[in-house]
């Protein structure tokens, strides 16, 4: 692995978070966690890697250089990430954190009313994990974000990178990535340079993205 990714403390967020409606039901998404796992595998040989993980459909390997910390909600994920962020050289935010929170959480199971045909669930903005952390980064840290979109991919990704003070952002469309073994993606750097990777196995994609980041730096 390239020098910039050698003997470093790597922090990765991965998987899907949950937003509870009541003690039993929750909102989440279809993230498998395979992309975050691919980055971890590419970096494990020569670095210390910590993964703060939500729900995943993959198994993490046992490795002396790898530590896993499981969380559920955005708040718990952020709380755990903050414990390690300041001592991390590189943070890769792969987690598919739920953007919305419920406005009124029910402390008891919401019962079905036979006289009602519809229910209203009010949502509010959830805490932004990546933005909260990236605004704390020092000049010696590298923060890499992801932008998963269904439309206006590059426009939305570039806007997100600027708003969240990122060094790089990886933009991909949900239909070409989420829950799949392969993915297409565009790497964008601070100067607006774009590199497109088409339909690669995620393990290979992670390595190519890291190689390009090394070359950019």
Distance, CA of 63 to CA of 69 (rounded, Å): 14
User: In DSSP terms, which residues pair with 19 in a beta bridge?
Assistant: 27
C-alpha distance across the termini of the chain, in Å: 14
Bridge partners (DSSP) of residue 171 are: 147, 186
- State the catalytic residue, choosing from 29, 47, 126, 172: 29
φ and ψ of 84, to 5 deg:
-115, -10
Q: How far is CA 108 from CA 20, 31, 111, 123, 138, in A?
A: 11, 28, 9, 18, 43
Cβ neighbors of 12 (< 8 A, separation 6 or more) are 36, 39, 40, 49, 50, 51, 52, 91, 92, 93, 94
For residue 96, give the 3-state DSSP assignment.
strand
- Compute the distance between CA of residue 188 and CA of residue 20 in angstroms, rounded to an integer: 34
Active site residue 74: no
Q: Provide the annotated active-site residues.
A: 29
């Amino acid at each position: 692995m390239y020098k910039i990714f050698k003997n470093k403390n790597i922090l990765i967020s991965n998987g899907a978070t949950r937003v509870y409606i009541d003690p039993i039901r929750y909102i989440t998404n279809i993230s498998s966690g395979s992309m975050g796992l691919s980055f971890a595998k590419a970096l494990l040989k020569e670095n210390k890697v910590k993964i703060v993980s939500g729900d995943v459909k993959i198994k993490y390997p046992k490795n002396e250089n790898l530590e896993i910390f499981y969380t559920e909600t955005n708040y718990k994920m952020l709380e755990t990430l903050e414990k390690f962020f300041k001592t991390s050289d590189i943070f890769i935010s792969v987690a598919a954190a739920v953007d919305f929170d419920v406005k009124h959480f029910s402390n008891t199971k919401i019962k079905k009313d036979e006289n009602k045909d519809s229910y209203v669930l009010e949502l509010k903005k959830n805490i932004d994990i990546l933005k909260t952390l990236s605004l704390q980064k020092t000049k010696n840290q590298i923060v890499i974000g992801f932008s998963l979109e269904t439309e206006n991919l590059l426009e939305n990704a570039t806007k997100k990178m600027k708003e969240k003070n990122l060094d790089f952002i990886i933009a991909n469309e949900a239909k070409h990535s989420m829950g799949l073994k392969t993915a297409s993606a565009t790497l964008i750097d601070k100067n607006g340079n774009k590199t497109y990777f088409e339909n690669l196995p995620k393990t290979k994609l992670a390595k190519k993205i890291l190689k390009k980041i090394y070359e950019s730096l």
